[in-house]
Structure 1
Amino acid sequence: MPLLAGAATVVAVVGAVLALADVDSPLRGPFTLFFLLAAPSVAIAAALRGLDPFGRLLASVAGAITVDMLVAQGMLAVHRWSVRGGIAAVTALSSVLLLLVVVRRLRGRTASRRTS
């Protein structure tokens, strides 16, 4: 399982780099699409730790599609659409969400240590 997670991470990162660098490659489209689905999905799945695995998967993929569509709609509404900007916005939103989850978990551990 860790090998599969590592391979998925490499594919997602390569997709983001290919899109940001504007490299003309047949792998650019599928790898970038994988990144746009995987990055928010992982962040949302980390936040939904209490759900059963299938529900967590379903909710995180639906949330990733929603994040992607909201980013695209927001950028189109302000007339600032670009592929690089979309990748950067999805990366930033996913990173912030994942960071909030990590901070929340660290605070929970600190609070439980104080009360014990």
Structure 2
Amino acid sequence: MRTLRINRELSPLLAGAAAAVSTAGALLALTGSNSTLRGPCTLLFLLLAPAAALAAALRGLDPFARALCALAGAVVVDMLVAQVMLAVHHWSVRGGVAAVAVLSPALLLLVHLRDRITGKSTQE
């Protein structure tokens, strides 16, 4: 059985491409475009934005566990946003994407502030 190994020089390129596609998905959803790529790209944004923020918070785990926990946490964040929007009777796709777009950088900011307060460097 062969294992798939991604070249270390290719990883940043793939991460940048995923970020660009997911950002395009968020923009397509927020503008109300009727493009056929809107759904898959928006789904990628809804999974990657919170997962990237949660992965930054889970620095101590090994890479596979970190990715798995971050992805599961991203699904939880998306479900919580949807549940709150349904509970207050203000459900909309644009609102959900905007809420996730606000929560993800806020979580990254909290991680950054935690690291500055505790004195930990991000280069560990």
- Aligned-partner Cα distance in 1 for 2:32–2:85: 19
Give runs of ≥4 in structure 1 deviating > 4 Å.
none
- Aligned-partner Cα distance in 1 for 2:93–2:51: 19
Equivalent residues in 2 for 1:61-72 (5 A)? 61-72=71-82
| Number of positions where the alignment pairs a residue of Structure 1 with one of Structure 2 | 110
Aligned to 2:49: 39
The code of the aligned residue for 2:116 comes to L
Q: TM-score, normalised by structure 1?
A: 0.91
Equivalent residue for 1:11, pick from 21, 25, 36:
21
1:108 CA drift (Å): 3.3
| More helix, by proportion | 1
Aligned to 1:104: 114
Q: Is 1:76 aligned with 2:92?
A: no
Instruction: Tell me whether 52-61 or 100-109 shows the greater mean CA deviation.
Output: 100-109
Unpaired segments of 5 or more residues in structure 2? 1-10
1:91 CA drift (Å): 1.1
- Aligned-partner Cα distance in 2 for 1:5–1:54: 16
- Aligned-partner Cα distance in 2 for 1:80–1:27: 25
The code of the aligned residue for 1:16 comes to A
Unpaired segments of 5 or more residues in structure 1? none
Give the RMSD, CA atoms, in angstroms: 1.1
Equivalent residue for 2:105, pick from 95, 98, 108:
95
Q: Is 1:86 aligned with 2:96?
A: yes
**1:18-47 Cα distance to aligned partner (Å, 9 max, x none):** 000001101000000000000000000000
**1:78-112 Cα distance to aligned partner (Å, 9 max, x none):** 10001111001111111110111112223333xx7
- Aligned-partner Cα distance in 1 for 2:12–2:92: 34
